[in-house]
């Protein structure tokens, strides 16, 4: 699996990476990591070509007292349905009600190796 390499330059800011004026490509576990991050940052209905794609943040996650079972189900589904992910090794969601943030921590196996991932999902 390969993809156009994107540089994460800050919150909600991605730039296409160029090397000597050419598009840089990402392959292997780096490509899967990039795809996972994109999928986790896409809100349901955000992509104009297919409104069925994305995470239902407004409906189930960025709400008062989100259901932990629903959170597990949603995020495990997003992770396991990402192309290149073969197995979910570890998975934990840490909801911090005092700061109203959620941290998603997981590791997956891909054909190119293991990926450890930690992502703060924002305030709710």
pLDDT reported for residue 10:
67
* CATH number of residue 77's parent domain: 3.10.450.40
Q: What pLDDT is recorded for position 117?
A: 93
Nearest to 32 by CA among 81, 102, 96, 97: 81
What is the dihedral sign for C-alpha 26, 18, 22, 39? positive
Alpha carbon distance 41, 3 (integer Å) = 17
How many domains, the chain? Answer: 1
What are the per-10-residue average pLDDT scores of the chain (124 residues)?
A: 78 78 87 91 92 93 88 96 95 87 94 90 64
Domain coverage including residue 98 = 2-123
Per-residue confidence (pLDDT) for residue 92, from 0 to 100: 96
Residue 30, classed as helix, strand or coil, is helix
What does the radius of gyration of the chain's CA atoms come to, in whole angstroms?
A: 15
Instruction: Tell me how far apart the alpha carbons of residues 24 and 17 are, in angstroms, rounded to a whole number.
Output: 6
Q: What pLDDT sits at residue 7?
A: 81
């Amino acid at each position: 699996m390969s993809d156009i390499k994107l540089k994460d330059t800050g919150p909600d800011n991605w730039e296409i990476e160029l090397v000597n004026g050419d598009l840089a490509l990402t392959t292997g576990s780096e490509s899967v990591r990039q795809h996972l991050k994109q999928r986790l940052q896409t809100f349901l209905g955000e992509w104009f070509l297919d409104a069925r794609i994305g995470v239902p943040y407004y409906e189930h996650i960025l709400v008062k007292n989100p259901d932990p079972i629903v959170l597990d189900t949603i995020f495990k589904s997003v992770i396991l349905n990402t192309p290149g992910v073969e197995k979910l090794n570890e998975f934990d969601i840490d909801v911090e009600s005092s700061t109203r943030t959620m941290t998603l921590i997981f590791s997956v196996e891909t054909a190119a190796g293991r990926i450890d991932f930690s992502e703060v999902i924002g305030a709710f």
